[in-house]
Amino acid sequence: MTRHENIFLDEFNDYFKENGAWEQGGGRKQTEIFARCFDEVITFPAGKFTLLDVGCALGQAAAFFARRYPEARVSATDVSNVAVSRGRGEYGDRVHFFTEDIERINGRYDVIYCSNVLEHFHDYVEKTMHLAACCRRLCIMVPYNQRQRGRRLVPDADSFEHQYSFYEDSFDFLLDEGLVQKIDIAFHPCPIAWGWSRRQRITHGIDNFIRKISRRPHEHEPMQIIFDIRTNA
């Protein structure tokens, strides 16, 4: 690993420690909400299949899929050994956990689920291409049209905050490279985790009514965009 990657790993291990920033910020609940919202849009055939949760954090999404699909063989991976160790301790009876960097993942899976991970990497293209080579179906969930002060995000290789604003064509390079057969797209709000809560929808609704009268731009609820990618692997 580079020095920058080691710094990132140290920060993430500290982030995922017991009662660390991840849990204090509601990360457990957020992870499961994302999985449940994803499940409202995309379902997998009943029966036996393999699923890998990439960037699993403490494992709440992987555990959700293990319950949702009891015949599936569910695995989960994260670059943080602290996160993986804690996930294994809590859900290891139903999910296989292992520590690995995205571009070093080996094996073939029927499904790879990657939720709210790739937006943190300035080299998300390379990471996505590697994941597409490791599965038959790649399901990616990321923030849609995220803006900072009204502008698209600008990648910063020295930061691990969100790097890119994602749009409908953000993964078309996979089609251009002939790595995938098709890409289906869906949008979904994720209240509390990413979108507005019920209370916020009411307050923003009132605000948007006032904006309309005053001819100001409408404020849209933050959305997640889901890419259901069928690969050639």
202: Cβ–Cβ under 8 A, 6 or more apart, which residues?
none
φ/ψ (deg, to 5) at 106: -115, 170
Tell me if 20 sits within 8 A of 51, measured CB to CB: no
209 located within any domain:
no
Confidence band of 157 (pLDDT split at 50, 70, 90): low
In a domain, 83, yes or no: yes
Question: How many domains would you assign to the chain?
Answer: 1
183-192: pLDDT as tens digits? 999 999 877 6
Q: How many helical (H) and strand (E) elements, i.e. helices and strands, does the chain have?
A: 8, 9
Residue labelled with tokens 């689920």 = 113
What's residue 146's pLDDT? 78
CA-nearest of 162, 182, 163 to 172 is 182
Give the pLDDT confidence of 107-132 residue by residue, as tens digits.
999 999 999 999 988 889 999 999 99
Residue 208 lies in a domain: no
pLDDT at 200 over 90: no
CA distances from 147 to 167, 176, 227 (A): 12, 26, 20
Q: Which of 73, 66, 80, 11 is nearest to 35 (CA)?
A: 66
Task: Identify whether 174 is part of a domain.
Answer: yes
Distance, in Å, from the CA atom of 22 to the CA atom of 205, rounded to the nearest integer, reads: 30
Does 159 score more than 90 pLDDT?
A: no
How big is the chain, counted in residues? 233
- Given this model, what pLDDT does residue 221 score? 64
Residue pLDDT, tens place only, 11-40: 889 999 999 999 998 999 999 999 999 999
Give the pLDDT score at 116: 93
- Residue 223: predicted pLDDT: 85
What was the pLDDT predicted at 149? 58
In a domain, 204, yes or no: no
Strand 50-54 and strand 109-115: the pairing is parallel
Whether residue 211 is contained in a domain is answered as no
Q: Quick check: is 98 in a domain? A: yes
CATH number of the domain bearing residue 11: 3.40.50.150
Structural domain contains residue 129: yes
Q: Do strands 135-144 and 223-231 pair parallel, antiparallel, or not at all (unpaired)?
A: antiparallel
| Full residue range of the structural domain in which residue 77 is found | 3-196+223-231
222, burial (CB in 10 Å: exposed 0-12, middle 13-18, buried 19+): middle
Looking at residue 2, its pLDDT comes to 55
Number of other CB atoms surrounding residue 154 within 10 Å: 11
Average pLDDT of the segment spanning 129-141: 97
